[in-house]
């Protein structure tokens, strides 16, 4: 199954080929083949422990794959080439509780730069937290923290979003919001890989799906490109 | 792939290394034991008494080879850690981590024999002599590497982190040595040396060198034996380990 | 889309860390209190004779500050690791070593510098001769950044662990030995009227080296621990 297509897909923003990761020599996921194109949202589904978060950490360059390769716009991936192009939202939101929402986003803007036309304040408004800029993150609810973290992703001047469980902790409006953001990002030529354990899903349109099964069941499915 | 890298990959593959090491280990232990007995005979019986120190000096035949080994093992560990970190070779990670406890043991013996010798010579078990102090820091460096290796759950990540620490330690070792010497001159420490420069009787040289050779061979035997165990542990899920375990089980039945 | 400049990223790190420390400013006094208490233990243990205390004063102040710095090291990356912002640092498009260097600099400014400021006072408690005070402060100014830099590499190696305190001490203290020897040695040499410039210059040379190498090593160590 690995190397099902031989020539690198030039149009793909992100492409994984025979991608697998093991920890302590125990396979976590893969081997996996997939391609993610501009304007596309791909949903990674799988049960708890199927390796969704690990996959996102591998794709973001935090972990090195055990085997296989990742290509970014057809070129082999290095952290230096990847980091200006990717924003990762992981389980830990990366927010400082002692700082206000605005201060957190200002730090993120300094660290990662900011998208043209989006400021920390407008990003906050974009996730429905108008007027919360002066509130210390400590006092926000879990869902509101998630929204601040989403505002950070929204602000990042990158084409590729890797969102780990973006729907977790969010209410109905929040889920709609995430879908709207994803749609707009895809419309603007960006791409996103999101995970979900299945309780919620990206509903607008029909996103391509990658199904990660537990490896013991020996049925790993690459998405059909 | 040229011949050398090919050879490296072949020997570095766990099953091959496991087999070769299995053949080498008994030889290393055997040769080490014989050389050690010969060296000890030469040092403890054949060599003449020292006119100043009497028989007490004879502890150098254990102390000095162990001190050399303490350093040698550290270099061996750091060299393997370097290979492991740069080329991500699993075998080197295990080799590096296998040599840490052995080196620590040699360093510990050095410290114990040093203080045993110190009792009749200086009248005290411990003196803050430059060499002993350096050895003590060396022991701490070993313990740090072993502690870090034991504390991280993921074995390969643990080996990389501990190997990195070993590399920092190797940069630090000469600095420690230099600073401790400076400190010793500042405080006018003891100047009695366990072995003085080049005033040693030739009859003492050959047992010393034989002992040095014996400890080296023993060290390699021990490293290989530990590495074999480490390989089995790390590759526990792999086919080659399963085959060995099955063969072992069949032999016992 | 613009990724922003490296200098603005460094400025953002420095600004955020300073703000955080200001918000938790109650904690800033802890290292000083700790050092003060350690110093107070010595006369209690050894007796109050000024002669005896004077002899050990510089060394004790040095060790007390070293230990206070060791305790403070733990906070360097801990909260960043726990809330995930360390991950964001690693993923940022800027050189990780520079960003970490900024973090270490802020940490040194806020933990070590106050300690150095009170060091002459601590020396006074142990009857440190007045003319050694200057050498003590100078030695500390050169030694404490070294301690912070070396310590940061070891903290990076233990960053993912719970209860890493004792282990961190085991990793760090052997590496601190030369710094302690030269730093305290310079003070002792000055106290006994010996030339003390050489050990200070050695410290300065080591500091220059560490300023270049330690952030790189720290970044490499962090990548290992986060993998």
Q: How confident is the model at residue A216 (pLDDT cuts 50, 70, 90)?
A: very low
Where do we find the tokens 């407008």?
Answer: A122
State the smallest CA–CA distance between residue A116 and chain C in angstroms. Answer: 6
Residues in C closer than 8 angstroms to B161, CB to CB, are 157, 221, 224-225
C178–B169 CB contact, under 8 Å: no
State the smallest CA–CA distance between residue B74 and chain C in angstroms. Answer: 15
* Per-residue DSSP letter, B44: I
| pLDDT the model gives residue B190 | 45
| pLDDT the model gives residue A14 | 87
Q: Which of B67, B164, A29 is nearest to C171 (CA)?
A: B164
pTM of the full structure: 0.89
What's the mean pLDDT in A22-42?
83
Task: Give the tens place of pLDDT for each residue, B127-156.
Answer: 888 888 899 999 999 999 999 999 998 888
Nearest to A113 among C3, C11, C84 (CB): C3
Q: How confident is the model at residue C179 (pLDDT cuts 50, 70, 90)?
A: very high
- Counting residues of chain B whose pLDDT is more than 70, the rounded percentage is 91
Q: What value does the mean pLDDT of chain A take?
A: 81
Structure token digits, residue C64: 């007390």
What's the mean pLDDT in A152-180?
89
From the first residue on, what is the mean pLDDT of each consecutive set of 10 residues in chain B (253 residues)? 68 85 94 95 85 79 92 96 90 94 96 88 83 92 95 90 95 90 71 52 83 95 95 85 87 79
- Asked if A24 reaches chain B (Cβ–Cβ under 8 Å), the answer is yes
Task: Give the tens place of pLDDT for each residue, A186-199.
Answer: 888 889 998 876 65
Q: How confident is the model at residue A220 (pLDDT cuts 50, 70, 90)?
A: very low
Q: How confident is the model at residue A224 (pLDDT cuts 50, 70, 90)?
A: very low
State the smallest CA–CA distance between residue B26 and chain C in angstroms. Answer: 35
Return the top range by mean pLDDT from A6-10, C21-25, C143-147: C143-147
Residues in A closer than 8 angstroms to C2, CB to CB, are 113-114, 116, 157
Task: Give the tens place of pLDDT for each residue, C37-66.
Answer: 999 999 999 999 999 999 999 999 999 999
In Å, how far are B136, C44, C127 from B187, measured between CA atoms?
18, 26, 21
- Asked if A64 reaches chain C (Cβ–Cβ under 8 Å), the answer is yes
Q: How confident is the model at residue A62 (pLDDT cuts 50, 70, 90)?
A: confident
Chosen from A24, A64, A65 to mutate, greatest number of chain B CBs within 10 A = A24
State the smallest CA–CA distance between residue C16 and chain A in angstroms. Answer: 7
Chosen from C169, C173, C224, C227 to mutate, greatest number of chain B CBs within 10 A = C224
What's the mean pLDDT in C142-161?
94
Distance between CA atoms of C155 and C171, rounded to whole angstroms?
A: 9
A4 pLDDT more than 70: no
Residue pair B107/B139 in contact by the 8 Å Cβ criterion: yes
Residue pair B95/B223 in contact by the 8 Å Cβ criterion: yes
Given the candidates 3.40.50.300, 3.40.190.10, 2.40.10.480, 1.25.40.10, the CATH classification of the domain at A14-91+157-224 is 3.40.50.300
Alpha-carbon C23 to chain mean position: 21
| pLDDT the model gives residue B199 | 59
Chain B residue with Cα closest to C206: B175
């Amino acid at each position: 199954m690995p190397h099902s297509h031989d020539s690198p897909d030039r149009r793909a923003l992100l492409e994984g080929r025979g991608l697998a990761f093991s920890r302590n020599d125990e396979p976590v996921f893969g081997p996996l083949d997939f391609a993610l194109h501009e304007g596309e949202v791909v949903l990674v589904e799988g049960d708890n422990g199927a390796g969704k978060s690990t996959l996102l950490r591998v794709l973001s360059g935090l972990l090195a794959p055990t085997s296989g390769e990742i290509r970014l716009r057809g070129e082999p991936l290095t952290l230096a080439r990847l980091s200006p192009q990717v924003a990762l939202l992981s389980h830990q939101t990366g927010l400082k509780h002692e700082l206000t929402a605005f201060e957190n986003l200002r730090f993120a803007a300094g660290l990662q730069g900011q998208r043209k036309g989006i400021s920390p304040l407008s990003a906050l408004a974009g996730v429905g937290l108008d007027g919360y800029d002066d509130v210390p993150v400590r006092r926000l609810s879990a869902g509101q923290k998630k929204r601040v973290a989403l505002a950070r992703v929204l602000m990042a001047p990158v084409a590729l979003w890797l969102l780990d469980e973006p729907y977790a902790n969010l209410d109905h409006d929040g889920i709609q919001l995430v879908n709207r953001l994803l749609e707009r990002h895809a419309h603007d030529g960006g791409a996103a890989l999101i995970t979900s354990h299945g309780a919620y899903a990206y509903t607008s349109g029909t996103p391509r799906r990658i199904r990660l099964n537990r490896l013991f069941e020996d049925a790993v499915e690459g998405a059909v490109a | 792939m040229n011949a050398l890298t090919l050879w490296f990959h072949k020997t570095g593959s766990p099953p091959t290394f496991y087999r070769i090491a299995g053949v080498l280990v008994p030889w290393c232990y055997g040769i080490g034991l014989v050389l050690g007995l010969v060296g000890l005979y030469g040092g403890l019986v054949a060599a003449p008494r020292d006119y100043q120190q009497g028989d007490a000096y004879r502890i150098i035949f254990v102390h000095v080879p162990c001190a050399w080994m303490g350093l040698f093992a550290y270099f061996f560990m750091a060299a393997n850690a370097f290979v492991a970190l740069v080329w991500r070779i699993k075998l080197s990670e295990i080799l590096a981590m296998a040599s840490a406890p052995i080196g620590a043991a040699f360093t510990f013996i050095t410290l114990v024999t040093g203080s045993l010798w110190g009792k009749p010579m200086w009248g005290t078990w411990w003196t803050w002599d430059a060499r002993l102090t350096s050895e003590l820091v060396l022991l701490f460096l070993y313990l740090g590497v072993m502690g870090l290796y034991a504390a991280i759950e993921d074995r390969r990540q643990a080996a990389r982190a501990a190997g990195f620490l070993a590399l920092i330690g190797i940069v630090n070792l000469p600095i420690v040595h230099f600073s401790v010497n400076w400190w010793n001159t500042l405080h006018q420490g003891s100047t009695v040396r366990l072995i003085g420069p080049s005033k040693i009787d030739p009859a003492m040289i050959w047992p010393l060198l034989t002992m040095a050779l014996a400890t080296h061979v023993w060290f390699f035997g021990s490293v290989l034996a530990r590495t074999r165990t480490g390989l089995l542990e790390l590759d526990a899920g792999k086919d080659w380990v399963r085959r060995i375990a099955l063969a072992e089980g069949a032999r016992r039945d | 889309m613009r990724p922003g400049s490296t200098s603005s990223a460094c400025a953002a790190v420095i600004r955020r860390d300073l703000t955080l420390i200001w918000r938790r400013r109650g904690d800033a006094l802890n290292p000083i209190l700790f050092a003060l208490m350690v110093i107070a233990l010595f006369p209690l243990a050894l007796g109050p004779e000024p002669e005896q205390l004077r002899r050990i004063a510089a060394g004790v102040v040095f060790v007390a500050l070293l230990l206070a710095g060791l305790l403070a090291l733990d906070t360097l990356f801990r909260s960043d690791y726990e809330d995930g912002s360390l991950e964001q640092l690693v993923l940022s498009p800027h050189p990780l070593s520079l960003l970490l260097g900024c973090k270490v600099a802020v940490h040194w400014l806020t933990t070590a510098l106050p300690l150095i400021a009170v060091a002459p006072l601590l020396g006074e408690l142990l009857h440190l001769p007045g003319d050694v005070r200057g050498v003590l402060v100078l030695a500390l100014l050169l030694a404490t950044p070294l301690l912070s830099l070396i310590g940061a590499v070891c903290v990076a190696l233990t960053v993912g662990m719970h209860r890493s305190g004792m282990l961190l001490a085991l990793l760090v203290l052997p590496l601190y030995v030369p710094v302690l020897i030269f730093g305290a040695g310079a003070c002792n040499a000055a106290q006994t009227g010996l030339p003390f410039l050489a050990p200070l210059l050695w410290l300065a040379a080591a500091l220059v080296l560490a300023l270049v190498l330690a952030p790189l090593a720290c970044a490499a160590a962090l990548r290992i621990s986060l993998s």
